[in-house]
Every structure is written in C-alpha cells, then in structure tokens.
Structure 1
Amino acid sequence: MKALQYHGRGDIRLNDVPEPEPGPGEVKVAIAAAGICGSDIHEYRGGPIAVPMTDAHPLTGEHAPVTLGHEFAGTVVAVGEGVTDVQVGQRVAASAVVRCGTCPSCAQGLPQLCATLGFHGLSGGGGAFAAFDTFPAYLAHALPDSVSDQVGAMLEPLATGVHAVGRAGIGPGSTALILGGGPIGLMTAVAAQAAGAEQVIVSEPAAGRAKAAERVGATTVLDPRSDDVVAAVRDLTGGRGVDAAFDAAAVATSFDTALGSVRPRGTLVNVAVWEQPTPLNPTALLFTEATITGALAYTDAEFERAVEIAATGAHDLASLVSREISLDDAVTEGFDRLATDPGDDIKVLVRPS
C-alpha cells in the first residue's frame, strides 16, 4: 500500500510499504479521514522535532523514514491477540500519545509526560496517511454515531484544547484570549466554551479563520494587524485582563501579547510548537505574578471529553474542514501549500481511500 513518510526536513515521500497487520495488543483500522496537523507542518518545514532520525525510538523501535498521520478516524478491521475492549467493525478515533505505562508520570495518569514519550504518526509504529494503520488498542476511542468521520479526525486537536483549558483552570464565568485561529486555537476556543467560559476572545489576522472563530462561538474576534489586542482585551474585561491567554500562534509578538493581556495572577498557556526561540523579559512577571505554563497533548480522560463535546453537536466542528484531498495529492496540495501559504485553510483532511 502507499504511505506518506517523513525522510527529513522538506522531504516527505509517498512510498510503497507492506500493509500492516496487528500484533498482540494492537488494532488494525481502515482509515476514513486523517488531518494534516500543525505539528506535521512544523516537522516538514522546521524539523525534525519529534521524528527520530537515526536512533530508534525506545517505544516503537523505529526511526525515519516513518509514516505520518496522527489525527484520524476509521473502522476497526482486525484486532491482535489479547484485545478484548475494541471490536471489529467499531468506528474509532485515536489518541496519539504512545507511553511506557510504568514511569512516574504514567503512574500519575499523565501519559503525555511519559519519560519515553512517543507520538503515533511521528515516532514510528505506524501512521494514518495510508489506507490502513495499526496501533496499540489503548489509543482507540469509540465514536458515537453522532460524530462523523470528518469530526472524528479532528478530535485529537480538540483533546489538545481540552487539556490546555484544563491547565489554565478555565471554568464557568472565566475569560480567555486565544492567539491564533488555526485548528489548535479554534479547538481551544471550543474547549473553553465547553468548560463554561463567559468570554472567549480570539486574535486572528486571516479573514477565513476569523470567520471560523465566529462560527464556533468566539464572543469577540480581533485582527492583530489593525487592533491593539492588549488594549482591546483590557477594554473588554473592564481593565482587568483575561483569566488565561493561550498562545497558539507562535509568532514574534504573540507571547508578549498574551503576557500583556492576562489579569494579575492570570495564566499564560503555550500550546504552540515554536520552530525558533522567542525572547522573554522576566521582569514582566514581577508586576502581575502571572503563571506561564505549557500544554502538551492530553490525557485519556481529556480525549474522552473531546468525544463528548463533539457528540453534543453544539459547535459546528465540520465547518472547520476547508479541503479534502487524496493521498496522492497530500504532498503538493497538503504539506507544500500549508507550509508556504496556508491562506484561509483551517483543517485539510486526507482521504486515503
């Protein structure tokens, strides 16, 4: 079968690979839809970041070339020895967080902080940019009939948003600023609303993405090219600032804007992958006692929460799919285009079949 594989920065190829079969504890899924993630683009444009290039990953035993694709939905077509909680014919989405299960972080229920953390579709062991994929059964999450394959392929970034919102302590009545209206930023906005946030402000310059923020329920959308975002946030919050600001943009000004927008003892959550370091003046922390933290992936419970949010149908998640392309077009119409000029693209789905 054909699989889209990462060979190095700027080098992704559609290769012939053997069709996989599930080993003990694994499931085999026929891929219905797989999303191109911002992390994939960062690997393509500025990596390698998470892809093991020369030394085999300790959990997968593989290194580049590896098959990409970690946001997906499909149907289980086979299960390996010992798998009892996933059935053939079941529609599933999958967590990407490959973990050892025994280190202190795993023991605390924090698989995304595993000492030997890997990501399915980045660290080897399979990937969803192919007709079939195999992966550990513990990554599979059942999809209700109310969640389409399109939306199922976006549950992984939604789970990331759920985790980010949890890191900030967002709850009923909270205020939030999200910098960046790409998939992660928009999913963080959805998760903030689902947690009960009263104000969800999104800063995004691209017109199409700004409209998408409105569609998923942002209370205010700002254009950082013409709006003074910090001043606008202060005005919208009665001079106080937001409870939490989420940097999902990873651009030169976003981190400072986020820090300048939070209330005293507010929280800045970095949920973006940065290809280059960004300056930080620690003195800025003295006068607000703000907390700066990161949010990486999600727990299993947070992925299940993402399934629940999607199943309500309260947010128009399917409208975030801007294009669907074939596996044959994934390099030119997917990676190349998103890496150079994404325009108003939000989520591009690859349909391997």
Structure 2
Amino acid sequence: MSGRQRQVVLDRPGAYRIADTEPAEPGPGEVRVRVFAAGICGSDRELYDGTRHADYVRYPVVPGHEWSGTVEAVGDGVDPALAGRRTVGEGFRNCQVCERCRRGDTSLCGGGYDETGFTRPGAFADTLVLPARLLHPLGPDADLRAAALLEPAAVVASAALTARALPGERVAVVGAGTLGLLAVQFLAASSPAELLVVDPRLGRAEEALAFGATEVRSPDALGALTGRYDLVVETAGAPRSAVDSVALARRGGRAVLTGLPEPGCAGLDPIGLAMNQLTVHSVFGAPSAAWSYAVRAFSSGLLDPAPLITHEFTLEEYADAIALVGSGDPGVGKVLLRP
C-alpha cells in the first residue's frame, strides 16, 4: 500500500463527497497509476447533472475518463518495467473477443458498455487502477499536463482516420471547443487548401488560426460557403451543428460527426443526403488504433494540447470546476483537476 488516497465520489446526481480510502491494489494484469491531471468534459457535467443516459453510468461513481499519470504499481503478469513510466490509457474496458473487438473497433465492443469514469472508478482521485493492456506509455520527458488531453485527442484522431483528408482539399471544422481545436491541428497536418472553423464564439474560434485554420465564421454567417467543402468534421454537439456540417459539404463530399447532442436536435434530411450523394460517418469514442495515432502525434510534436488548458483545480474544488464546465463562458477552455 502507498498510504491513504482521496477520490471524488458522485453518489447520485448533484451529491458528491471527497472520500479518504486505501488505494486499490492492482490485480493480475492490472496497474495502479498515480494521477497527475484529469480533464473535465461535457459528459462529466452530465454525470453531475444527472442527464447522462442511464445505460452509460453506474452511481455511485468516481468520475474522470481523461487523465495522465505515472505507473506506481503493477499486478501479477505485468511487465515490471512499466513501473515509473509516464502514461495515458484507454477508457473502454473492451472484451477483446467479440466480433467488433476482433476487427479493431474496440470502442464498439459488443460485450456491453463499460468505461473508466462512468461504470468503473475514474481519475478524479489520487490513483487509478486499470488493465495494463489499456495503457499507452509516454516518453520520460512527456508533458503530463498536456497529456491529460490525449483522450479527446484520440476521439479526434478517430475522426481524422475516418475522414482520410487529402492534401489540397477544402476542409471545415464545426465547433471550436477542445475537440474542434484538436481537430484543426490534425487536419492542418494534411495541408488543406482551406481550413474553415465555425463557432458562434468568434473569439474562441480565432484561437484556431494559430493551429492552421485559414478562416473563422459564425454559423449564421456561412452564406455562399454552403456546399463548398470536400470534408467537414463536426465537433460541437449543438442542436443544429450536424445540419450545418452537412450543408457545408459539397456534392459527393464527406462529413464526420463527433459531437453528442441532446435529444431533440435537428435531424438530417435524407433526401438531401441522397441527392447530393454525401458520405456521413459518426464517431463514438476512440478505438485502440486512434489512441496509438494520437499518442504518436503528441510524442512527435505534431499535436500540442497545452494551449487549450485554461483552468486548473484541486480535487477539493471539484464543484467549482464542474460549475465552470458548460457555463457558457467563452473564456473557458479545457478544465483540469490536479490531485
């Protein structure tokens, strides 16, 4: 054992406590990670508010699915050399044996939904235990503060791999939140002829110019840009962002939807999809291949998540951090908890 540890326990929506417990010992095939930082995203706010679908949460829960840290203990059957390694790790506890897992679509595991921070104890704690097979070790000098954003980066990497952007294409990103700004970095690496970012928060969208965007616009100022883009990546999850994304795509173009809107959002027109021969993909989470891609991009310096971080809080300030996420303040980017 390594002494006592703190963890945020959300007993039910809106009711949490900071628990003082013994750190869990890693079982066979598992590791215990000392958490350095954990990101807070909209789904963590949904957990707190009680708006996440009941099939995708199990209260009481220790939230936290975006994290970075250092391996401090290994269980039986795990390479002892992992101890002391800086690392990030996948959240989906995929079964490895179903058809989807065997095809590499580990985020679509047919064994049932099971994810760190939602159905298993997460990283809003001093330590986290998970299967060693889910780790993606980092270099000895990796920036663990920035690495806490590699989970959303892996989602964006999944979208980028699906999109297959080609040099010289006209590309648009709808949404300038964490996912959107990470998407800009990935897509800029493909040398697009144009890279538009669409967001009603123009100040936020303009941050994308430093990452390779060529133009920013509000959704209500798209005008003649409708039907212009070879590829559109949607990251906002706003009520009309999927519709706006498809409208931006040229005839025969492609759209990749990554945002998760609330029920009742505007739906896509099937006639328009058919007549314009559009290809529409959706992304849920990130398979292992996308994680590997994101980690390589980060390790090589192609991906720089650090500028997206705007606020950091302690575990004891969890309620303040959650209130900030989803507050609508345009000055709020990625919020971290630092155990």
TM-score, normalisation: structure 1: 0.87
Match runs of 1:227-242 below 5 Å: 227-229=220-222, 231-234=223-226, 241-242=228-229
Quote the offset at 1:299 in angstroms.
Answer: 2.0
1:221 corresponds to which residue?
216
Structure 1, unmatched stretches of 5+, are 54-62, 235-239
Following the alignment from structure 1 to structure 2, what is the Cα–Cα distance between the partners of residues 133 and 193? 34
| Superposition RMSD in Å | 2.1
1:248/1:260 CA distance change after superposition, 3 Å: same
Match runs of 1:185-204 below 5 Å: 185-204=180-199
Aligned: 1:76 with 2:71 = yes
Which of 252, 277, 281 is the equivalent residue of 1:289? 277
1:12/1:191 CA distance change after superposition, 3 Å: farther
Instruction: Tell me, yes or no, if the aligned pair for 1:22 and 1:134 is still in contact at 8 Å.
Output: yes
1:237 corresponds to which residue?
none
Cα deviation code 1:179-230 (max 9, x no counterpart): 1111111112222223443432111222442232122222222123xx522x
Aligned: 1:38 with 2:42 = yes
Aligned: 1:143 with 2:138 = yes
Q: Which amino acid aligns with 1:120?
A: T
Q: Which amino acid aligns with 2:297?
A: I
Cα deviation code 1:66-120 (max 9, x no counterpart): 1111111111100011112761110001111210010000011110110123221
Q: Which amino acid aligns with 1:119?
A: E
1:259 corresponds to which residue?
246
User: What secondary structure, in the 3-state scheme, does the structure 1 residue paired with 2:317 have?
Assistant: helix
Following the alignment from structure 1 to structure 2, what is the Cα–Cα distance between the partners of residues 284 and 171? 25
1:13/1:343 CA distance change after superposition, 3 Å: farther
Quote the offset at 1:167 in angstroms.
Answer: 1.8
Instruction: Tell me, yes or no, if the aligned pair for 2:104 and 2:289 is still in contact at 8 Å.
Output: no
Following the alignment from structure 2 to structure 1, what is the Cα–Cα distance between the partners of residues 217 and 14? 33
1:38/1:171 CA distance change after superposition, 3 Å: farther
1:209/1:11 CA distance change after superposition, 3 Å: farther
Following the alignment from structure 1 to structure 2, what is the Cα–Cα distance between the partners of residues 43 and 241? 38
Match runs of 1:280-319 below 5 Å: 280=267, 281-319=269-307
Quote the offset at 1:18 in angstroms.
Answer: 3.4
Following the alignment from structure 1 to structure 2, what is the Cα–Cα distance between the partners of residues 195 and 155? 20
TM-score, normalisation: structure 2: 0.91
Larger mean CA deviation between 100-109 and 253-262 belongs to 253-262
Aligned: 1:272 with 2:267 = no
Instruction: Tell me, yes or no, if the aligned pair for 2:202 and 2:217 is still in contact at 8 Å.
Output: no
2:164 corresponds to which residue?
169
- The aligned length equals 333
Cα deviation code 1:21-65 (max 9, x no counterpart): 111111101111111122222333452337655xxxxxxxxx311
Following the alignment from structure 2 to structure 1, what is the Cα–Cα distance between the partners of residues 50 and 337? 22
Quote the offset at 1:343 in angstroms.
Answer: 2.7
Quote the offset at 1:244 in angstroms.
Answer: 2.0
Which of 45, 62, 65 is the equivalent residue of 2:60? 65
1:109/1:271 CA distance change after superposition, 3 Å: same
User: What secondary structure, in the 3-state scheme, does the structure 1 residue paired with 2:171 have?
Assistant: strand
Structure 2, unmatched stretches of 5+, are none
1:211/1:279 CA distance change after superposition, 3 Å: closer
Quote the offset at 1:312 in angstroms.
Answer: 2.7
2:83 corresponds to which residue?
88
Which of 21, 28, 31 is the equivalent residue of 2:32? 28
Following the alignment from structure 1 to structure 2, what is the Cα–Cα distance between the partners of residues 310 and 75? 17
Identity, in percent, stands at 31
Following the alignment from structure 1 to structure 2, what is the Cα–Cα distance between the partners of residues 120 and 302? 18
1:241/1:67 CA distance change after superposition, 3 Å: same
Following the alignment from structure 2 to structure 1, what is the Cα–Cα distance between the partners of residues 50 and 260? 10
Quote the offset at 1:232 in angstroms.
Answer: 5.0
Q: Which amino acid aligns with 1:304?
A: S
